[in-house]
Amino acid sequence: MVLPPGFAPLAQDPVLGPAIVAGLEKVETQLHEAIANADPFADATSRHLLEAGGKRVRPLLVLLASHLGTDPGNADVRTAAVVVELTHLATLYHDDVMDSAPVRRGAPTAHEVWGNSVAVLTGDLIFARASSLVSVLGGEALGIQARTFERLVLGQLNETVGPADGEDPIEHYLSVIAGKTGSLIAASGQLGALFGGADAQTVEIMVEYGEKVGVAFQLADDVIDVAGLKDKSGKTPGTDLREGVPTLPVLLLRRNAAEGDAEAAAVLKLVDGDLTSDEALAVAVDALRGNRATAQAWEVARSWAADAVAALDPMPDSVVKASLAAFAEAVVEREA
């Protein structure tokens, strides 16, 4: 197993780098054990996304944060890493059904293979496995998991319902992704620091860092959907546009058009048009990519990443701190 891009200081450290890689390999083994099911059908559906791969960023953050404490990488830390990745996997099953996404991690989504009901129930089953594991870690961990799960669901619900009358759509969207993405990455840092034996201040720093870097990560994904390359990102540019998923570049485009920007209004007409054909989608993507709304979206993403790095300021300098800062910067400088 290799470290995902963005953790250069960690990869270059001759002691901590190999320790994290070894921990991730143990977590990967535990993930497969945790998701295994005696029922052959349930086993197949549960393994579907796990075996499709993934960057394992959340487990990595759990392991890395544990090195801020006195007992890094212990068995409870690894269990917490398994819990956050199982929770993440479960949300993907549900998200793909709600978004009617045809592909995930280069493979057909579960609902495309087995139908919506099976996909939703498989997500529920994986949530149950995560809950069973976290109960072994004790009441504090169970509380963190429950509050995170609540925020995940509320984030999805708020996205589905949309902003209330008079509510700023951009502020609403930022609150949605803080719940859907930021909350679980924050929990990853929190659990890792907690079970690694870090002090209370460090645990709280990891919560703040995780929330902000999680939002930055999702905002970067929004822009990559417009500006990314298919062979790097794994999905066709404009997938979110075609599916009508509200993302920051489009929300900024709408705001600019409402404020009298004629070019934005012209691009918005393309974005809101019929994007069924690949040709129409390509035209809309190209127009949005060249509009200032996309550059503005990058600026917002970079601002959240900078805030994540700033949250680390109270911590003493270390390879862990440098790795966390490098990751925050990398998430908004990537192409996939």
CA-closest candidate to residue 25, choices 71, 73, 70? 73
Q: How far apart are the first and last CA of the chain?
A: 19
CATH number, domain containing residue 81: 1.10.600.10
Whole-number percent of the chain with pLDDT over 90:
76
| Average pLDDT estimate for 203-212 | 98
pLDDT (0 to 100) of residue 233: 43
pLDDT (0 to 100) of residue 230: 45
pLDDT category of residue 106 using cuts at 50, 70 and 90 = confident
Triad 317, 319, 325: Cα angle to 5°: 75
| Average pLDDT estimate for 179-183 | 96
Q: Give pLDDT tens digits for 209-268.
A: 999 999 999 999 889 888 765 444 455 678 888 888 889 999 999 999 999 999 999 999
In a domain, 254, yes or no: no
pLDDT (0 to 100) of residue 336: 57
Alpha carbon distances (Å) from 78 to 27, 82, 195: 6, 6, 9
Residue 300 pLDDT greater than 90, yes or no:
yes
In a domain, 85, yes or no: yes
Domain that holds residue 57: 11-198
Cα distance between residue 151 and residue 187, in whole Å: 11
In a domain, 247, yes or no: no
The residues near 319 (Cβ < 8 Å, ≥ 6 apart) are 9, 10, 13, 16
In a domain, 169, yes or no: yes
pLDDT (0 to 100) of residue 232: 47
| Average pLDDT estimate for 132-139 | 96
In a domain, 70, yes or no: yes
Q: What's the total number of domains in the chain?
A: 1
Residue 273 pLDDT greater than 80, yes or no:
yes
| Average pLDDT estimate for 282-292 | 94
pLDDT (0 to 100) of residue 231: 41
pLDDT (0 to 100) of residue 236: 67
In a domain, 281, yes or no: no
pLDDT category of residue 296 using cuts at 50, 70 and 90 = very high
pLDDT category of residue 53 using cuts at 50, 70 and 90 = confident
What is the average pLDDT value for the chain, to the nearest integer?
Answer: 92
In a domain, 60, yes or no: yes
In a domain, 250, yes or no: no
pLDDT (0 to 100) of residue 21: 94
Tokens representing 295 are 């550059």
Beta strands in 41-155 (DSSP E): 103-104, 107-108
Residue 136 pLDDT greater than 80, yes or no:
yes
pLDDT category of residue 289 using cuts at 50, 70 and 90 = very high
